[in-house]
Chains A and B, each alone.
Chain A
Amino acid sequence: MESTRAELQDFEEVVRLYWQGIYRFVRASVRDADAAQTLTQDCFMRAYSKRGTFRGQASVKTWLMKIAVNLVRDFGRNRRLQFWKRLNASGIDPGDVSDHLPDAAISLEDRALLNEQVQMIWQASRSLPERQRTAFLLRFVEDMDLLEIAAATGMKEGTVKIHLFRALHAIRGRLRGLR
């Protein structure tokens, strides 16, 4: 616990270590590069100003992610930004995501199918309700376990499981439609 708290002493190092992960989660949640950058900055600003209250019960990453989840939630609720958000909704092109698939030794046909499926997951995650999407991204992009997700979202572990199940079920339903 003490070592976790001590990690916050060098805040520049904290920023260096966790910036990309926080940005990635925020970016996938809000689908807007400028807003994601601003929210990531806000996340670290908030963490910096509240670092004295950090008890070290969770990891620094989980703590930062909790702040990011709240910021994303507030962003979604901010009606003033809704119009702007819709305007920029096409900020990330799902095609861009599948273009960055790692080069594995797979056939062109398989690769095309994989691209299509990844695009479909991206699009399906986009239409998920906020809590399901958050749980899904934290689990399958940020690779956090159920307890970490529960700590970051303020949900109970059982509730996290339910949201994950619903998210996966919806996404698998979309993937089945692709076949």
Chain B
Amino acid sequence: MRAHLSSEQISRWMAGDCTPEADRHLRECPRCAAETARLKTLLGEFRSSVIARSALEKGAEAPERWAPLAPKRRFTSGALRWKLAAAALAIAVIVPICKNSGERRRDAEAFQADVQLWEAVNAQVSRSVPMPLEPLMKLVIWEPDAVEK
């Protein structure tokens, strides 16, 4: 019989990396077979203890009733989806139009104000005498011929 399996070979075998040679050796060598059996028993005890320990915890109990959170509402109706799309499109079209008409109205009012201001300035500039002197001018009888005589 060949030498015993190395620690590494036993770990490989336990990990599922079984070679025909290792299998054959374990069938024929009581010492290596005992070592793998001891390891299996120990891991089995570890498993049992973890299962027993976690089973006692509150979190290990499955909920009485499974109540998943309500899924996010989705639009299942095709018609509703189309209506919403149409509404969004309408808003997208109407808002700029309303915005433009408002701007046009404001422009027209500003133009009117400018015209009125222009006319007022024009009237002031075209006076023969300043406005505060106008009452005095009414007292003076302006006769150009008389001055020449």
Residues of A within 8 A of B (CB): 11-12, 15-16, 19-20, 23-24, 27-28, 33-34, 36-37, 40, 44-45, 48-49, 92, 96-102, 114, 117-118, 121-122, 139-141, 143, 145-146, 160-162, 164-165, 167-169, 172, 175
Chain B interface residue number, banded: 35 or more
Contacts of A24 in B (CB 8 A): 50-51, 54-55, 60
The answer, among A23, A27, A33, A118, for a CB contact under 8 Å with B46, is A118
Whole-angstrom distance from the CB of A129 to the nearest CB of chain B? 15
Closest to A28 in B: B50
10 A-B interface contacts by CB (under 8 A): A12-B65, A23-B59, A23-B60, A24-B51, A99-B53, A114-B42, A118-B42, A141-B50, A172-B39, A175-B42
Whole-angstrom distance from the CB of A4 to the nearest CB of chain B? 19
Within 8 A of A (CB), among B7-51: 7-8, 10-12, 14-17, 39, 42-43, 45-51
Considering the chains assembled together, what is the distance between the CA atoms of A98 and B69 in angstroms? 38
Closest to A149 in B: B16
The answer, among A23, A37, A96, A169, for a CB contact under 8 Å with B7, is A169
Whole-angstrom distance from the CB of A142 to the nearest CB of chain B? 9
Whole-angstrom distance from the CB of A164 to the nearest CB of chain B? 4
Considering the chains assembled together, what is the distance between the CA atoms of A49 and B72 in angstroms? 11
Best-surrounded residue of A27, A28, A160, A168 (most CB of chain B within 10 A)? A168
Given A49-B71, A169-B11, A114 and B45 touching (CB < 8 A)?
A: yes
Whole-angstrom distance from the CB of A21 to the nearest CB of chain B? 9
What are the interface flags for B49-77 relative to A under an 8 Å C-beta threshold, 1 for contact and 0 otherwise?
11111111111111101101101000000
Q: Are B17 and A20 in contact (CB under 8 A)?
A: no
Closest to B17 in A: A161
Contacts of B54 in A (CB 8 A): 20, 23-24, 27-28
Q: Are B12 and A165 in contact (CB under 8 A)?
A: yes
Closest to B8 in A: A169
Contacts of B61 in A (CB 8 A): 19-20
Given A24-B51, A48-B68, A102-B52, A15 and B63 touching (CB < 8 A)?
A: yes
